[in-house]
Amino acid sequence: MGEGDRAIDFAIDHVIAEKHGGETAEHNLCLSCYWCNSYKGSDLSSVDWTAGGQIVPLFNPRQQIWSEHFRLDGAHIQPLTATGRVTVYLLRLNAEERLDERELLLALGDYPCSLATG
Ligand SMILES: [Zn+2]
């Protein structure tokens, strides 16, 4: 599939938001779907309540490898690490409407896509 005929649209988003000093440069930009972009906002971390309430950085798609932090189980994204857990939680990656969308993309053979993960 070309970039113009994707089932969902992506926006270019700052990994580290400008308000935290993040640069508008390739190393700090990623493609993000509407929901990930909305739920992440300018956050950099969240609280891992399963591990005593530690503050843990969110997954950084520019510096980290997706498969080291997550595993796809059907349409569910299962976290493998603390960073995976806080990212799944904050971005609501397994919310019902997101699972519905991911199931549709899987059925279309459009997930995971080569442009973005998440
Ligand atoms: Zn997304």
pLDDT bracket for residue 114 (50, 70, 90): low
Collapsing DSSP states into helix, strand and coil, what is residue 33?
strand
**Distances in Å between the alpha carbon of 77 and those of 23, 94, 117?**
29, 7, 11
Around Cβ 116, how many Cβ atoms within 10 Å? 17
- For the segment 80-87, the average pLDDT, to the nearest whole number, is 98
Nearest CA among 100, 81, 98 for reference residue 33: 98
Please determine, for residue 118, whether its predicted confidence score (pLDDT) is greater than 60. no
- 1 pLDDT above the threshold of 50: no
Burial (CB count <10 Å: 0-12, 13-18, 19+), residue 114: exposed
Look at residue 39 in the predicted model and tell me its pLDDT: 95
pLDDT band at 5 (very low <50, low <70, confident <90, very high): low
pTM for this entry: 0.88
Q: Tokens representing 70?
A: 């997550």
Residue 32 CA to ligand 1 center (angstroms) comes to 5
Give the pLDDT score at 110.
84
pLDDT digits (tens, 9 = 90+) for 27-71: 999 999 999 999 999 999 999 999 899 999 999 999 999 999 999
Cα of 37 vs centre of ligand 1, distance in Å, is 7
Provide the b/e sequence for 52-75 (b: ≥16 CB within 10 Å): eeeebebbebeebebeebbeeeeb
Flag whether pLDDT at 2 surpasses 80: no
Q: Which two tokens stand for residue 34?
A: 């509407």
Task: Report CA(36)–ligand 1 centroid distance (Å).
Answer: 4
